[in-house]
């Protein structure tokens, strides 16, 4: 039985096609100006790649900020529920999930059954979200994906004077003008990001195992920085792309529904 | 007796010269990267206007974030103290001063002598500071000094849903692409900055009369929006931007007499 999950975020949109609990295909695209366009495009790409059509999909769940604008879904479910569910699938022992999105960040505590028991989010301030890293990468003239590997080569990471993305940008420019090596600035940027995450994670209480989802989980500089601050190891996700957590959770809910699970 | 105050801020540098208790001259320049150079230039400009030489200054007090780098000062005083002092000298009934600067925002409660009773200060977040206005002025390609006039032409009320400068910038870019008028956007921006500054000020219990100081107060749109956000009638200053330098000069005058 084929089901689908679609997660339209502010920066990226994700879709996943599952067949009897097995992942057939998953796709990530950059989000368009209109969330419904993103949803249509990413879902078409996922279906095409899986070699199936929308008619074959028994149930489809949408999530993310654009979930109410999707035309093809059977049901919309909140991001929080989908991220928790997806994180558990990615790491069955996860009790604490830290998810960093393009414009928000969330810390979630799950109970033994995978139910959300505590939750904190920040979507008011760009600092501590993917946007912070995006702005800094742009100022440094490097790709967002390079920040992590670059910081691994740092010798003397800088300390950022302010958390605010606007002031931090001025900070980074001043360091660039002082000819501080890019690696040391990148490491400072990642550490600043990690320290914001640590505050959020501690506010829900950190219990092992801890995992990170969202695109920023692929930045090892942030992940190792956060490990140091929290004093726990963060389990790396290998089962799939950590950025897919929300879409995976959506597809798992779709599977429940298709199997006759109650709403 | 001739004394001076010099206020080196993040964006502008200001100097005021007092002669026998009256303002003889004042000057404002855009700050340079080197605070020492800013201080010399703005003071030379003020001295030139007053037709005086540096040697005639009996006492000079420095303030602002660059105050430790001013070479010619006798001593320094905090911005908070200077803004309080300057505001009460100009508006004796003032009990609260809200100052929106280029990179910070402060609210100060003062006594009848301009002495600081309580204050609150934000330099951690760019929202609620002049920087918010600057970034959006750039994005909209309008001049900072034209924003007040532009907002006055607004016909439709818009509200920004983001308080964060970074998120608001994105919101504004999409408003522009949806065809929103710049005038309406700028008015909404003024309210966003004012609301942020007002919530800071309210945390120390605003007491009337309230004065708005700092360069941002020269923008009538911001002045109106802050009054509305605080729910009070704001008192204006003749030149709000030089209030800190004026306060510094008043301290210089007191100290020169001691």
Residue pLDDT, tens place only, A43-59:
999 999 999 999 999 99
pTM: 0.86
The three-point CA angle B36-B7-B187 to 5° equals 120
Is any Cβ of chain B less than 8 angstroms from the Cβ of A202?
Answer: no
Are residues A54 and A119 located together in one domain of the fold? no
pLDDT lower than 70: segments of chain B = none
CB contact under 8 A, B124 and A164: yes
Is any Cβ of chain B less than 8 angstroms from the Cβ of A199?
Answer: no
Are residues A69 and A109 located together in one domain of the fold? no
- Could you give the number of structural domains in chain A? 2
With CA atoms as reference, the chain A residue closest to B125 would be A164
Are residues A248 and A122 located together in one domain of the fold? no
8 Å CB contact between A85 and A113? no
Distance CA B123, CA B106 (A): 9
Distance CA B76, CA B72 (A): 11
What is B93-236's CATH number? 3.30.420.40
CB contact under 8 A, A135 and B131: no
Q: What is the pLDDT of residue B11?
A: 85
CB contact under 8 A, B164 and A125: yes
Distance CA A46, CA B21 (A): 77
What is B1-91+238-258's CATH number? 3.30.420.40
Share of chain A above pLDDT 90, in %: 79
Residue-wise pLDDT tens digits, A58-101 = 999 999 988 888 899 999 999 889 999 999 999 999 999 999 98
Distance CA B162, CA B132 (A): 12
Are residues A100 and A227 located together in one domain of the fold? yes
Chain A residue numbers with beta carbons less than 8 Å from the beta carbon of B131 are 166
Are residues A48 and A99 located together in one domain of the fold? no
With CA atoms as reference, the chain B residue closest to A166 would be B126
CB contact under 8 A, A125 and B124: no
Are residues A79 and A172 located together in one domain of the fold? no
Are residues A105 and A204 located together in one domain of the fold? yes
Q: What is the ipTM metric for this complex?
A: 0.84
Is any Cβ of chain B less than 8 angstroms from the Cβ of A196?
Answer: no
Residue B54 DSSP code: G
Surface of A (147-176) touching B: CB under 8 A: 162-167
User: Of B103, B163, B174, which has the smallest distance from its Cβ to A124's Cβ?
Assistant: B163
CB contact under 8 A, A164 and B125: yes
Evaluate whether B1-91+238-258 and B93-236 have a shared fold. Answer: yes
* A59-73 burial code (b ≥16 CB/10 A, e <16): bbbbbbbbbebbebb
Q: What is the pLDDT of residue B253?
A: 97
Are residues A203 and A251 located together in one domain of the fold? no
CB contact under 8 A, B126 and A135: no
Q: What is the pLDDT of residue A33?
A: 82
Mean pLDDT value of segment A133-156? 93
User: Of A126, A163, A164, which has the smallest distance from its Cβ to B167's Cβ?
Assistant: A126
For residue A262, what pLDDT band results from cuts at 50, 70 and 90?
low
With CA atoms as reference, the chain B residue closest to A162 would be B124
Chain A residue numbers with beta carbons less than 8 Å from the beta carbon of B163 are 124
Residue-wise pLDDT tens digits, B181-201 = 999 999 999 999 999 999 999
Which of A166, A170, A192 is the best substitution to test chain B (most B C-beta atoms within 10 A)?
A166
Are residues A111 and A229 located together in one domain of the fold? yes
Q: Please provide the average confidence, as pLDDT, over all residues in chain A.
A: 92
* CATH number of the domain where residue A101 is located: 3.30.420.40
Q: What is the pLDDT of residue A263?
A: 52
Q: What is the pLDDT of residue B228?
A: 96
Please tell me whether residue A135 adopts helix, strand or coil conformation: helix
The ranges assigned to domains in chain B are: 1-91+238-258, 93-236
Show the tokens assigned to B154.
Answer: 């607004």
Are residues A78 and A205 located together in one domain of the fold? no
Q: What is the pLDDT of residue A261?
A: 66
User: Of A103, A124, A167, which has the smallest distance from its Cβ to B126's Cβ?
Assistant: A167
Are residues A34 and A139 located together in one domain of the fold? no
In which order are the strands placed within the sheet that holds A12-19? A22-30, A12-19, A2-8, A57-63, A75-76
A61: domain range? Answer: 1-91+240-263
Mean pLDDT value of segment A101-130? 91
Are residues A193 and A261 located together in one domain of the fold? no
């Amino acid at each position: 039985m084929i089901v689908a999950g679609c997660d339209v975020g502010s920066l990226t949109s994700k879709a996943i096609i599952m067949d009897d609990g097995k992942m057939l295909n998953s796709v990530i695209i950059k989000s368009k100006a209109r969330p419904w366009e993103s949803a249509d495009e990413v879902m078409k790409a996922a279906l095409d790649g899986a070699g199936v059509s929308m008619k074959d999909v028994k149930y489809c769940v949408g999530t993310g900020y654009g979930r109410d604008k999707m035309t093809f879904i059977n049901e919309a479910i909140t991001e929080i529920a989908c991220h928790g569910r997806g994180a558990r699938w990615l790491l069955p022992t996860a009790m604490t999930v830290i998810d960093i999105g393009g414009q928000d960040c969330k810390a979630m505590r799950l109970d033994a059954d995978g139910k959300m028991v505590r939750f904190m989010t920040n979507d008011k301030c760009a600092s501590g979200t993917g946007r912070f890293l995006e702005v800094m990468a742009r100022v440094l003239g490097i790709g967002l994906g390079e920040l992590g590997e670059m910081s691994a080569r740092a010798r003397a990471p800088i300390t950022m004077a302010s958390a605010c993305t606007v002031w931090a940008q001025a900070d980074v420019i001043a360091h660039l003008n002082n000819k501080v090596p890019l690696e040391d600035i990148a490491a400072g940027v990642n550490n600043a990001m990690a320290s914001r995450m640590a505050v959020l994670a501690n506010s829900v209480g950190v219990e092992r195992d801890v995992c990170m989802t969202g695109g920023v989980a692929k930045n090892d500089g942030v992940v190792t920085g956060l490990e140091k601050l929290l004093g726990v190891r963060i389990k790396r996700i290998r089962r799939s792309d950590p950025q897919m957590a929300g879409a995976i959770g959506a597809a798992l809910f779709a599977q429940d529904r298709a199997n006759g699970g109650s709403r | 007796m001739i004394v001076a105050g010099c206020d080196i801020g993040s964006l502008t540098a200001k100097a005021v010269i007092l002669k026998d208790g009256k303002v003889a001259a004042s000057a404002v320049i855009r700050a340079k990267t080197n605070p020492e150079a800013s201080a010399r230039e703005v003071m030379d400009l003020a001295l030139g206007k007053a037709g005086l030489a540096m040697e005639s200054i009996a006492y000079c007090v420095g303030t602002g974030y660059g105050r430790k780098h001013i070479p010619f000062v006798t001593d320094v005083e905090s911005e908070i103290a200077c803004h309080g002092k300057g505001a009460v000298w100009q508006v004796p009934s003032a009990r609260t001063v809200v100052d929106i600067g280029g990179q910070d925002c402060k609210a100060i409660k003062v006594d009848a002598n301009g002495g600081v009773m309580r204050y609150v200060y934000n330099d951690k977040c760019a929202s609620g500071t002049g920087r918010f206005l600057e970034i959006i002025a750039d994005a909209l390609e309008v001049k900072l000094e034209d924003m007040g006039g532009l907002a006055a032409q607004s016909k439709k009320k818009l509200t920004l849903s983001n308080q964060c400068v970074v998120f608001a910038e994105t919101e504004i870019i999409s408003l522009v692409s949806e065809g929103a008028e710049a005038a309406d956007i700028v008015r909404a921006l003024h309210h966003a900055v004012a609301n942020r500054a007002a919530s800071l000020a309210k945390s120390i219990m605003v007491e009337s009369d309230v004065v708005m100081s700092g360069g941002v107060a020269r923008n009538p749109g911001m002045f109106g929006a802050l009054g509305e956000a605080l729910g009070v009638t704001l008192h204006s200053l003749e030149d709000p931007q030089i209030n800190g330098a004026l306060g510094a000069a008043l301290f210089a005058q007191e100290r020169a007499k001691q």
